[in-house]
Amino acid sequence: MDFRCWILLIGCALGLVACGDSISPQSQPEQPPPTPFVFSHQGMSGLVVERLYQQQDKILALTDDGLYQQQQDSWQLLGLKGYSLRDLAFIDDQHWLAAVSKQDEEGMQSHQLQETFNAGASWQEVRRPFGADGEHEGIYALQYDKTQKRLYGTGIGVLAFSDDFGISWQVLQGFWRGFGQPKSALGIAPDRSKIWWGGQGAIEDGVLFSYRLADGHEQMFQKLLPDPSVYYHVRFAGNRIFACGEGGIVTSDNQGDSWKNLLPDSNYRFFFDVMIDSSRNNRLYTAGWDKKYTEPQPLILQWSDDAGQSWQRLQYQGATDFYGGVRSMLLVQRQQQTYLYLGLFKGGVMQVRVQ
């Protein structure tokens, strides 16, 4: 083979190599990032789930039509059918107290304190008044301090306590026959130094109170959220306090000397609660409700990994007629897995597995 043929062959080989270099394998489509949450509807559609609690290994749902306990994949009624449950206090595993209300045919509400000694199998009314002169006012939040063996309850304008499981009450802060709206937020500070409580005042203003147990020092906090506003829950994480309500979630790390709204662009959206995930460096979870009583709305879960400085959002892809407004929240750790339970307004209960 002469020299020119060798040159031709080498040139062809180089050309093939060059062509081969220019041909890339078929590109694979980018895989979407893993979904951080898995949603699983748990039933009870049509009910307003006011509060959620974990009692031992059971999930309890306080609704506008009775108390329910989750049994595997279904819910069991634990009584109080026809009552709207405001709150539940656990004296021990079997002894519970429930603040309930009931509306008659004329729209008038009556309030009761119900008691069970067998974890909801049967109930009886505590026939002693939460109020003055034999009048029974509504109880909107309950907390039982097992260390001090003291029950706390809130009304329209009062924080009161009972040392005999609701038979008799004494005023700590405020007064009976108060004006305004229910005070549904109630929390005992982890060090038991203060009681925090609040709700809405007489002019649709959000009001938050603290009562120092050592000396009775009282404080009232106003204008933390833009009015009209109302508070529904108080939560604690270390030295931080969170107060959740209409228009956002406010927090303080100095006993209320200064406050910050973590969701300042909420546009009067209601945030009933916030969950703090200690297993994930105190990640925050919340979800809201737009004030729509008869219209569906999407379920939007929000979370923050930087103490509320910034938030991420994920919308549940449900049916267009799904009632996804969130009224209550519960964080559960089970077998090294984190679950969020979301109590919805007319939408039942949603379980969210955190990946």
Q: What is the DSSP string of 101-138?
A: EEE-TTS-EEEEEEEESSTTSS-EE--S-SSSTT--PP
> What tokens does 256 get?
């209320």
How many angstroms separate the CA atoms of 27 and 269, rounded?
A: 44
Question: What average pLDDT score do residues 246-262 get?
Answer: 97
Is the residue at 177 inside a domain?
yes
When the pLDDT of each residue in the chain is averaged and rounded to a whole number, the result is: 91
Domain limits for position 266 = 37-354
Is the residue at 27 inside a domain?
no
Whether the predicted pLDDT of 174 surpasses 50: yes
How many angstroms separate the CA atoms of 300 and 329, rounded?
A: 13
Residue 14: per-residue pLDDT: 42
- The single-letter DSSP state of residue 280 is G
12 falls in which pLDDT band (50, 70, 90)? very low
Element of type H or E holding 283: strand 283-287
Is the residue at 21 inside a domain?
no
Residue 22: per-residue pLDDT: 44
338 falls in which pLDDT band (50, 70, 90)? very high
* Number of structural domains in the chain: 1
Question: What average pLDDT score do residues 223-249 get?
Answer: 96
Q: Are 135 and 118 in contact (CB under 8 A)?
A: no
> What is the CA 157 to chain-centroid distance, rounded?
23
Burial (Cβ within 10 Å: 0-12, 13-18, ≥19) of residue 307: middle
Is the residue at 175 inside a domain?
yes
Is the residue at 7 inside a domain?
no
Whether the predicted pLDDT of 331 surpasses 80: yes
Compute the residue count for the chain. Answer: 355
Is the residue at 91 inside a domain?
yes
Distances (CA, A) of 339 to 13, 54, 335: 62, 12, 10
Kindly state the percentage of the chain with pLDDT values over 70: 90
29 falls in which pLDDT band (50, 70, 90)? low
Q: Are 69 and 120 in contact (CB under 8 A)?
A: yes
What is the per-residue pLDDT across 272-319, written as a single tens digit (0 to 9) for each? 999 999 999 999 999 999 999 999 999 999 999 999 999 999 999 999
10 falls in which pLDDT band (50, 70, 90)? very low
Q: How many CA atoms lie within 13 A of 37 on its CB side?
A: 22
Is the residue at 138 inside a domain?
yes
How many angstroms separate the CA atoms of 37 and 242, rounded?
A: 24
Element of type H or E holding 237: strand 231-237
Comparing CA positions, the residue from 167, 161, 159 lying closest to residue 185 is 159
Is the residue at 1 inside a domain?
no
Domain of 69, CATH number, reads 2.130.10.10
Beta bridge partners of 348: none
Burial (Cβ within 10 Å: 0-12, 13-18, ≥19) of residue 62: buried
